[in-house]
Chain A
Amino acid sequence: MNQSLYKLFVPLAVIILLSAVLPIFASSSPDGLEWVAEKLHFAGAEASLNTIAFFADYTCTLTDINLINTAITGISGIALIGLFSTILFLILASASKKAEGQTE
């Protein structure tokens, strides 16, 4: 395997494992903010205005099997994040390179 690909393979495998498999074992207890909101009785103020979220609350209903739904959600998430961050930082690097070229 190409050395530079190998360097990226291990971290990528860890990320896929983290996003697609481990969330199955995540605690379903309320998190810090939710716990405080319930304790101080303002949890009811929550109003969801997002009606377009395809993976609302990190789940999807593409199959009847939760394990598969979780894996699909996790892998889709890292694909989206990978896409957006690649675009953002490549644009910044390309603009930076152009600016350097103009000043030289």
Chain B
Amino acid sequence: MNTLHKELLTDSLIVHKIKNNIHLIEEVNFMHIPDGFLATPVNITTAVVSAGFIGMALRETYRKIEPEKIKYIVLLTAFIFGAQMINFNILSGTSGHFLGAALAAILFGHWVAILIMSVVLSTQCIFFADGGITALGSNIFNMAIIGSFSAYYVYRFLLKKITGKVLYQYAVYGFSAFVSIVCAAFLCSFELAISGLASPVNIFANMISVHSLIGMAEGIITAGILYVITLYQQKVISV
């Protein structure tokens, strides 16, 4: 009886572990470009270009950094990492997640945003196998560099044009975040297309359509977070 009980217990433990593993396998998805997707020349080119931009970002940040802001930059970097862990459904069978490049660019400028996003993407790649090691240059180029630059310049350009209502300001934040996602998806599509993975038309059409929806969510989340930060600044930080 005792042996039977032990066997049953072992069996139930095995079943539990298998169920756990199935759950883990179901959750595996690649949020960023994995290894094997892009052609080697694309990986090398984007890695070199990204390294150049990171060098420029380091130089610009070194020139202008305000030490008292470091704690907020670190908090934002951790926040972006945490927020990227949460995938939300956008269509039946498809999901997306917050990127954060626009949020970082609006709060601290595009050069700091590049560094913030590069830290997040490199850590995800090395420790979490999210995004391929060979595709790290592409992921940094698309999401950190293009994502930050596009959001920052759209935000700066539009903010000069609007006057008056605070609501318009938040609309600009949201639209900048939307643009950052679409631009990053456009560059990603270009890299996938020149790597010969599928017909360029199909790649662009599908990537831009699905990422436009993700971009809308990014816009709403970014504007929402900036609103909360503004309230927090007014009610807590300024106290």
A90, chain B: closest CB distance, angstroms: 7
Complex Cα–Cα for A89 and B115 (A): 9
Segment from B3-11, B122-130, B144-152, B165-173 that makes contact with A = B122-130
User: Does B226 make an interface contact (CB < 8 A)?
Assistant: no
Contact partner, B206, options A8, A27, A36, A58, Cβ 8 Å: A36
Nearest chain A CB to B123 CB, angstrom units: 5
Report, as a range, how many residues of chain B touch the other chain: 35 or more
- Interchain CA distance A76-B239 in the complex, whole Å: 32
Cβ of B67 and Cβ of A97 under 8 Å apart?
yes
- Are A47 and B35 neighbours in the complex by a CB distance under 8 Å? yes
- Nearest-neighbour CB distance to chain B for A101, whole angstroms, equals 13
Question: Does A62 reach chain B (CB closer than 8 Å)?
Answer: no
B127 touches A54 (CB 8 A): yes
- B129 adjacent to A77 (CB under 8 Å): no
Q: Does A52 contact B (CB under 8 A)?
A: yes
B96 and A48 form a contact (CB under 8 A): no
The answer to whether the Cβ of A104 comes within 8 Å of any Cβ in the partner chain is no
Distance A28 CA – B86 CA, assembled complex (angstroms): 10
* A31→B116 CA distance, assembly (Å): 22
Interface, chain A (partner B; CB < 8 A): 3, 6-8, 10-12, 14-16, 18-19, 22-23, 25-37, 39-42, 45-50, 52-59, 64, 66, 73-74, 76-78, 80-82, 84-86, 88-90, 92-93, 95-97, 99
26 A-B pairs within 8 Å (CB atoms) are namely A3-B239, A8-B71, A11-B79, A19-B82, A22-B82, A22-B86, A27-B87, A29-B89, A30-B93, A36-B203, A36-B206, A39-B206, A40-B199, A46-B36, A47-B34, A49-B35, A52-B126, A53-B127, A57-B24, A58-B130, A74-B85, A81-B123, A89-B61, A89-B70, A89-B115, A92-B58
Given A45-B37, A74-B82, 17 additional A-B pairs, CB 8 A:
A19-B85, A28-B27, A29-B94, A32-B211, A32-B214, A40-B197, A42-B37, A42-B198, A48-B34, A49-B35, A52-B126, A57-B28, A57-B129, A64-B16, A74-B85, A76-B127, A92-B62
